[in-house]
Amino acid sequence: MNIKEKLSLIQSRFKAKKSRFNNFGKYNFRSAEDILEALKPYNIEYNVYFTVNETWLGDGVLQSSAAIVCTESGEHEVAAAIVGVDFDQKGMQMAQKFGSASSYGKKYALGNLLLIDDTADADATNSHGKGAINKTISGAGSDYTTARKYAKPEITDANIDKAKKFLANGGKIETLQQTYLMSADILNKLKNG
């Protein structure tokens, strides 16, 4: 069985409990640690192991990568997530700001690898006091308005070089589209170099 087949089987069977509770938002959620703990039985069953790595991209941006590696063949599959460090977050020391971003990055990289859908999860939709916004963005040749609970950062001509670097290092355009807003023009620039 190759690594893609092993990953597919694990994705179809994988369950991780939402064992954490957010007192402020009053919802249950799962952490990266919960996901990693739930993966351990698959290590022996499928002869694989999982890793999570982080790369500092600069300007408050962390890239987290989650990988599954076959212990027999060395084959691997990787998924990534990009998160920003909120330097303006009140009530946190700098280490806590980085730790919070790191935790989110790991969780969402693992979620991307394992196809964990957190869209209905309150942790994914909580505005954390930032309020709802509406923004018109262009994509796939048509304009549309999206109402979101909190703003995603936007890739523009001013910061496109970091996105290009992410792609050059093996990142996927789909990951950028899930994490950032971008116009159709920016998307074309990223796809076509």
Residues 81 and 157 in one domain: no
List of residues 6+ apart from 57 with CB closer than 8 A: 63, 82, 162, 165, 166
Residues 121 and 144 in one domain: no
Residues 88 and 144 in one domain: no
Chain segment 126-143, per-residue pLDDT in tens: 444 433 333 333 333 333
Residues 140 and 102 in one domain: no
Which DSSP category does 121 fall into? S
Residues 168 and 186 in one domain: yes
Segment 56-62 shows an average pLDDT of: 90
Residues 190 and 108 in one domain: no
Which of 34-48, 107-121, 157-171 tops mean pLDDT? 34-48
Give whole-number Cα distances, 122 to 20, 23, 110, 113, 125, in Å: 12, 12, 18, 21, 5
Number of domains in the chain: 2
Pairing mode of beta strands 142-148, 154-155: unpaired
Name the more confident of 193 and 13.
13
The CA distance from 12 to 114, in Å, is 9
Residues 169 and 122 in one domain: no
Residues 27 and 121 in one domain: yes
Chain segment 82-108, per-residue pLDDT in tens: 999 988 888 889 999 999 899 989 999
Range of the domain at 102: 1-126
